[in-house]
A and B are shown apart, each in its own frame.
Chain A
Amino acid sequence: MTNSQEYFDDDELSGMLASIDHPVPPLEVGAVIRRARIRSGRRSALLAAAALIMVASIATATVPGSLGRRYLREWLDRRSASRTPAVAVQARGDGADDAASRGIAFAPGPQVDIDFKWEQSAGALQVRWADVAKVMLSQTGSQSDAHYALMPNGVIVDNAGSRASYSLVLPRTLERARVRVAGKVVLSKEGQTLSCAGVHADTGSCVIEVGAGHSK
């Protein structure tokens, strides 16, 4: 069976290997092609579906007020909130003629205090609750300037001589919030308890006079 060499000669080896062969299973080339096409089609369908979802998501995110846009905004807010220290200033207006952009936004801790140092001769504060991650306080509709100082638990607004109105947006998830005008509490929230010394609008917001008479 073996020769005197160190290995089997070629014929012997061929015979040994042929002895362990199994019959070749019958297979039609057409079946292979069909299987290949099905797999290729499946891959194409998956790619097309992924592309469609991506296009749809982008399209939805560009439509104002859409679910996709809202989700994207919340997601972006959450991302920036998680990156931002609780006391970081996000936006602050400069320049007396840029009233619309004047304001401040920050990621809050568990409690937020907004203090207007002075009563104003005119102006109102609209407070609303939203699914946002940041507290946003902005000045609207006046050329009078106010200065915002960010504190560990909120903001102090130096509104001496201002006749501005303000918009305050608070995160719905905020546990405790307080707004004071010249030391008087005009809005407070403790857990589920909310009190507002102003007018509740239909939209669920609360409008408080910053001028004289806010304590009514």
Chain B
Amino acid sequence: MNAYAFDAAFRAAFASRYAELFRVVDRYLGDASLAGDIAQETFVRLYNRGTMPDDLRAWLVSVALNQARDEQRSQSRRLRLLRRRAPEEHMGDAALAPDEEVLSAERRSLVRRALVILPARDRALLLLREEGYSYRELALSLDILESSVGTLLARAKVAFRKVYESQQRENIKPLERA
């Protein structure tokens, strides 16, 4: 692939995959600013690679999630989480009534907490499957056997529901006491 062809392929890849990659990392980390940095950095690395990988989606998400995991391990990341900004801007449910808005915010918080608590591989499986990744792409991205993807995915879904509901119960308890 010559330089012009690569440049064109890169631009096409960016146009089709940037938003998706950002979304996956944002859901994975729950930090939009960091997710933006990681998505950008991933494309910078792709450009400097000089060739397109055989499986672009798997390559992108693998590189991005590696960075996300590194970031999570670092102390600075933990500090940033503690200082998390208060109200966040969200895409969905733009014009809700006040009650609904409270419920919606509560639900978002539950989803986010459940995702954070979920083991990293389960979280990645859920999020990537949601983006339409095939079993093969999931196997490539997460370095697991393709034949195990179905089982692992089912377990991840079960685990997510369990964690979500346990968080929900934790939320209700203080109200019952009151």
Q: Which residues of A contact B (CB under 8 A)?
A: 2, 6-8, 13-14, 16-25, 27, 29, 32-33, 35-37, 39-40
Contact = CB atoms under 8 A, between A and B. Distances in A.
Contacts of B88: 22
Contacts of B48: 36, 39-40
B161 A33 contact: no
A13 B10 CA distance: 32
B132 to A, nearest CB: 11
Given A21-B27, A33-B47, 15 more contacts: A8-B157, A8-B160, A13-B126, A13-B130, A14-B130, A19-B111, A20-B30, A20-B115, A21-B91, A22-B32, A23-B89, A24-B23, A25-B36, A32-B40, A37-B47
Contact of B161 (A6, A18, A19, A39): A6
14 contacts: A2-B161, A2-B165, A8-B160, A16-B107, A17-B27, A17-B126, A19-B107, A20-B27, A20-B90, A20-B111, A22-B88, A27-B39, A29-B10, A32-B44
Contacts of B127: 17
A55 to B, nearest CB: 26
Given A32-B40, A33-B10, A21 B92 contact: yes
Interface residues of B, number: 44
A32 to B, nearest CB: 5
**10 closest pairs, A vs B, by CB?**
A7-B157, A22-B32, A36-B47, A25-B36, A36-B44, A29-B14, A21-B91, A24-B19, A6-B158, A7-B161
Nearest to A22: B32
A22 B26 contact: yes
Interface string B15-32: 100110011001100101
Interface in B114-168: 115, 126-127, 130, 154, 157-158, 160-161, 164-165
Contact of B47 (A14, A19, A32): A32
Contacts of A7: 154, 157-158, 160-161
A19 B19 contact: no
B108 interface: yes
Nearest to A14: B130
B44 A39 contact: yes
Given A17-B130, A22-B91, A29-B15, A35 B44 contact: yes
Nearest to A10: B130
Contacts of A8: 157, 160-161, 164
Nearest to B115: A20
Contacts of A39: 44, 48
A23 B164 CA distance: 24
A13 B157 contact: yes
Given A22-B26, A32-B14, A16 B158 contact: no
Contacts of B18: 24, 27, 29
A152 to B, nearest CB: 58
A25 B22 contact: yes
A8 B158 CA distance: 8
Nearest to A37: B47
B57 interface: no
Contacts of B112: 20
Given A18-B92, A20-B30, A27 B40 contact: yes
A18 B107 CA distance: 12
B161 A35 contact: no
B159 to A, nearest CB: 9
Q: Counting chain B CB atoms within 10 Å of each CB, which of A2, A25, A39 scores highest?
A: A25
